[in-house]
Structure formats: C-alpha cells, structure tokens
Amino acid sequence: MSQKFDVVVIGAGPGGYVAAIKAAQLGLKTACIEKYQDKEGKLALGGTCLNVGCIPSKALLDSSWKFYEAKNGFSVHGISTSELNIDIPAMIGRKSTIVKGLTGGVASLFKANGVTTLQGHGKLLAGKKVELTAADGTVEIIEADHVILASGSRPIDIPPAPVDQKVIVDSTGALEFQQVPQRLGVIGAGVIGLELGSVWARLGAQVTVLEALEKFIPAADEAVSKEALKTFNKQGLDIKLGARVTGSKVEGEQVVVSYTDAAGEQSITFDRLIVAVGRRPVTTDLLASDSGVDLDERGFIYVDDYCTTSVPGVYAIGDVVRGLMLAHKASEEGIMVVERIKGHKAQMNYNLIPSVIYTHPEIAWVGKTEQTLKAEGVEVNVGTFPFAASGRAMAANDTGGFVKIIADAKTDRVLGVHVIGPSAAELVQQGAIAMEFGSSAEDIGMMVFSHPTLSEALHEAALAVNGGAIHIQNRKKR
C-alpha cells in the first residue's frame, strides 16, 4: 500500500523545509522530498540557500572582510601586524563546516517535529499523487491531500560563456576556489556577482565585472546605486556597465572574454570567470504532463497571490514562482500556504520584502524607491542621514554611506527605507517593522534610540524627513 500524507513538500530549501516544519507543527502528517547530495554523496537538506547560496557566500564574505580589515583597516586604530597570510583551503573548509552544521540542523528539526524525510526525485502526477524515484531507480507512489512544490532555481547559463566549473564557473564553483585568482572576471553586476566579486577582491584578486545593462543595481534607489558604484570603484572593483559578453575562449588556465561596449569590440583575459547572470526556476521532470499545473510565460509555476497553482490542493512557493528570488520570501510563502491549508486566513505582504546586498558597505532597502514613487505621481518628502555624522560609525571607522527615508508628503507615512552603510541589512529591518505597522516618519522620530548606535542614523533620517534632524543641517525648514 502506498504511503499517504496530509502534506507532501517537494524540495527542502528555505521554502520547502520551513513549510514542512510548520505543517508538522500544525498537526499535519508531513513528508518532505529532497534529492540533493553533498560532495560525500550524502543527502543534504537546506536547498540552494544553505548548501551553495546565502550561507556559504556569507561565510566567505565574513572571512574575506576580516582579512581585508586586518590588512587595510587596522592601522588607523593603532594596530599593526607583521605579516598577514590567508589560507584559502582553511577558509573554504570553515565555510563547509558551517554548511554541514546547518544542513544537519534541518535534518534534526525534521526529526524533532516529526517530518518524514524522503530521499529522491519527486514528480507531481495527476490527482495529487507524487512519484518518488530513489537514487537506485526504485519508484514509489505517494498520496497526499496537499502538495507543495518548492523545487527552487538554478544558475542561468549563457552560450558565450559555457560553465566548465574549472576556469569558467557559476556561483557554486566560485565558492570552491582553492586559491585567489590573480585576474577574476565576473559576468553580471547583480547581487550574487557583486558579493562573490567582493570576496575575491578583498583577498587580492583584480576583479572586473562586466554588466550588459547601462544602469547599476537598477532595483535600488538611484542615490544608493550611485554611492555604491563610487565606493566599489574606489575599492578597486572595475565595474564595466553596458558591456555585453559575446564570447569566451579557454586557453589552459586562462580565459579570453570578448565583449562589446560603447567603444566597440573588446577583449580581456582572466584566470577565472564567474558567470552570475541570474537564476531560472527548476521544473525539469517535476510535473507529469497530466498534472494540471501550469507554467507562466517565463517558465515559473503559475500561482496566485496565495501561491495556489491551477490545481486545487497543489501549491508552489519560493524561487520556482514569480517574485523576488530570496530565501526569506520563500520561507514566508511556505508559512502562508501551510496556514491556509489549516484554514487560517494568512496572507503575505509582498510590498515589504527587504532586499540586501552583502557587500561592504552593505546595501539594503524595503519599500519603494524615490524614482518609482515619483513615476507613480506620489509626492514625497525625503530625509537622509550620512554615517559620516554618526558617532558610532566614526568609532568603528566605518562612515561610508547613508540612511534615506521616503515618506508620503501628504500623510507622512513611510513608503521606503534605503540604507547603504554598516549593518544596512539589520537597520533596514527596523524600517520594515515600522512600515508593516503603517508608521509615519514622525512616529519613528518620536521614538527613543540608544546612543551611540548605528540605528540613530535611521532616527535622524526620519527626523530629517520633516526638517527636524539634530546632528546635520536640514535641507527642509520646519
């Protein structure tokens, strides 16, 4: 007799594993299917995020930042070091240990919550049946009242630069370099390209980023993207905008990349090339032809605002559906779906998903940019506070960037919070909380902030919206 569950989740990334844990917590008999194996051939839960995404990239960003600071940022504090070395295999090993700890943690959480882990490839059949194919080819049919598809995404390949995971790598390969490439090329100035480029630049690589678009970080507020471009250039990242890669030729341990820009045909030689041009949804062999689940025109699983697919009782969440490709978006969609399966009236506020780029300075935002709001005809007031005027940032010798708060000119309601600077990711979350509760700039301005903290920059930016900042000269008179 086939196994039967209340909920079967396909994919154990931050979308799928969170949904599975939540479902079990709410008393539903739950199974989660995952096929990913680590380098030792063992099942590893956690998806892209834990295995080859958010966590390993942040581990390398943190290690490389410590090295960079020790090399370039200590002397101002009166600290000197004799000789500084970096052991790249040890750094990569530390990253792998963190990944192992966290993926093992998900397995323990499954156990503790009573989620059944099923190893293998899951495929949705008609009638909410799921075909599970184990690594040895054994096939089992599982029945479910509800199926959650959470198969995630994978890197996009481009014909001019085919990935060989040796000289031309994708984001996964870029987390495994065993030495610092002397000349590193990155195709794509998106979040992943900038983060991985930063890691290796801090460790001494000469990094060139080739970006086809003319605009830098187009999703960010223009003031932020301008500041970021200026800062990254100063740090030595050579970011070439309007540079469209047309071909590449691997010659031994080097790759010659050709591209066109405003000046015409160009070519440049690298020791390693990272292709980071985006990610596409994973739907290969996921849906039987009679499953009834539709894809949209871009190949994502088609869902409504509640992540319901075209088949009642079948849901899809995370990178495999429309919207931002972010771990926290995937997880919250998972929670929403499970709550709705239980009959609760859960919904997600898609307008308040924070975005973060973990470069230095960090870049983070939530809500709308000034440009979008102006294009929508919304009149706004803007308050900005530079970290150069923050005592805490000065103490930390980390004064680059600013906090920018945008509020509706008529109601003072906060519509966007944009931060470039130290701890931007943490600071912007305060903006997200305030916005979720419909806060005005004045509300934030009236709160008591600890001194000295970086958070005071958020306080001052909120005060500046209405011309009331204390520690800078206000542009707007009260």
57 lies in the binding site for ligand FAD (CB under 6 A):
yes
15 lies in the binding site for ligand FAD (CB under 6 A):
yes
179: three-class secondary structure by DSSP: coil
Q: Which stretch binds ligand FAD (CB under 6 A): 140-148, 326-334, 437-445, 467-475?
A: 326-334
Which position among 20, 22, 152, 380 is part of the footprint of ligand FAD (CB under 6 A)?
152
- Both tokens assigned to 36: 């990913």
243 lies in the binding site for ligand FAD (CB under 6 A):
no
HSE, CB side, 13 Å, CA atoms: give it for residue 321: 26
287 lies in the binding site for ligand FAD (CB under 6 A):
no
466: three-class secondary structure by DSSP: coil
Is the distance from CB of 318 to CB of 328 less than 8 angstroms? no
Helix (H) or strand (E) holding 226: helix 222-234
Which position among 47, 185, 193, 416 is part of the footprint of ligand FAD (CB under 6 A)?
47
Residue 471 known to be catalytic: no
The rounded distance, in Å, linking the Cα atoms of 190 and 49 is 17
Which position among 211, 227, 271, 319 is part of the footprint of ligand FAD (CB under 6 A)?
319
197 lies in the binding site for ligand FAD (CB under 6 A):
no
282 lies in the binding site for ligand FAD (CB under 6 A):
yes
Give which of 244, 272, 248 is closest to 259, Cα–Cα.
244
Q: Which residue has the tokens 């470069």?
A: 359
Q: Is 339 annotated as a binding residue?
A: no
Interaction with ligand FAD in 356-375: which residues (CB under 6 A)? 358
142 lies in the binding site for ligand FAD (CB under 6 A):
no
144 lies in the binding site for ligand FAD (CB under 6 A):
no
326 lies in the binding site for ligand FAD (CB under 6 A):
yes
Helix (H) or strand (E) holding 113: helix 88-113
Q: Which residue has the tokens 């294009």?
A: 375
Residues touching ligand FAD: how many (CB under 6 A)?
35
* Phi, psi angle pair for 221, to nearest 5°: -60, 140
Q: Is 325 annotated as a binding residue?
A: yes
Strand partners, 42: none
The rounded distance, in Å, linking the Cα atoms of 24 and 13 is 16
325 lies in the binding site for ligand FAD (CB under 6 A):
yes
Any idea which residues carry the catalytic annotation? 451
Residues in contact with ligand FAD by CB under 6 A are 10-16, 33-36, 47-49, 53-54, 57, 121-122, 150-153, 171, 192, 282, 286, 318-319, 325-328, 330, 358
